[in-house]
Chains A and B, each alone.
Chain A
Amino acid sequence: MARRGKLEILRDILKIIQDNGNSIKSTPLLRKSNLSSKRFKEYYNELMEKDLIKNIENKNGDKFIFLTEKGLRFLEKYRAIISFIDEFEL
């Protein structure tokens, strides 16, 4: 169940970025994700490691978080992933 929760949280973070026009700063993302800053950092690092999000800095030095192609694909396939895990009790 813990891991299933983790996948849900990853999906929720990606969904927030997508709903925000695929560009959001880390502070509003942390606020909207309803996670403690420690847990948010863990998930944020995991999303970066898995290449689901990327971080781009603009001319003013502000950092924005974007979904990668893989991140978009994750959102598209999320239902299939969960349905597969449930079907085979994985």
Chain B
Amino acid sequence: MEPMTGRAIFEGFRGAGFRNILGLGFGAEIIYSFVIIVCSLMIYFGTKELYELSSYKGIKYFRQAFLFFAVAYFFRSFIKFILGYFNIKEIFEFSPGVFGGFTLFLFMYFSSIAVFYLLYSIMWKKWNGDSNKIYLFHGLALIIALISAVSRNPLAYFGINVLLLAFVALVVYAAYKHPKNKIKSHNLYIIYLLLFIFWIFNIIDILVPDFLQTFKLFMYLTSSGIFMIILYKVLKNTGK
């Protein structure tokens, strides 16, 4: 067997896997995930002092939601990396399959719980601070993650996401009926609804990769924009 020269090793690194990643615009994926993870972590750590001083539950659920968004986006980029590197279309094609399924399970769990925590941050007072609902949300997120990881039917993904969106829209509408400040609330709920809609596009992008091929860039830019608007509002109000 011929010993590998430095050049051969270098060529190896520039092999199929890396070509696939570059060919799929992985740079854009990395920048997109990086922006969202950084925004989410800045929101989480930027509100740390406000929570430590006040121990206010609404702030607690709000910041935890963004921590979960950061974790979910980390798993999202990890799945994208596997898809790109091994040039496969679906995470289930990855061998060993259990590993792909488990990554998908974690991604779905953290993404669902992030949405639920953000909802709970605006609804906890209206639900009389009943913290048992948190366990219910964890249970729901677990079921959603299990169905997504076990079922390989795109219709099941769509069904879950449509139900999730309907639930979110209903809760946001209920919260919007009695706002403290009509204009401010209107803007906030539009931002939240857009965040949830684009979050679902992100999930579909992972589960059915070809579905959103044409307007992927638009989705990345809009999603990043939504997170940056929320970060701007946080920084403005925390005085940082």
Contacts and interface: CB of A to CB of B under 8 A. Distances in A.
Contacts, number: 64
A81 B121 contact: no
B50 A88 contact: no
Contacts of B59: 81, 84-85, 90
Contact of A77 (B53, B55, B121): B53
Contacts of A86: 180-181, 184
Mostly helix, strand, loop or mixed at chain B's interface? Answer: helix
Interface string A18-62: 000000000000000000000000000000001000000000000
Given A80-B239, A84-B47, A90 B184 contact: no
A70 interface: yes
Interface residues of A, number: 19
A86 to B, nearest CB: 7
Contacts of A84: 47, 50, 59, 234, 237-238
A82 to B, nearest CB: 9
A70 to B, nearest CB: 7
A6 to B, nearest CB: 9
Contact of A89 (B47, B57, B61, B188): B188
Given A73-B53, A77-B50, A81-B53, A90 B237 contact: no
Interface of A: 1-3, 7, 50, 70, 73-74, 77, 80-81, 83-90
Closest 3 CB pairs of A and B: A90-B58, A84-B237, A74-B53
Interface of B: 47, 49-50, 53-59, 61-62, 121-122, 125, 129, 175, 179-181, 184-185, 188, 233-234, 236-239
7 contacts: A80-B50, A81-B59, A84-B234, A87-B233, A88-B62, A88-B121, A89-B179
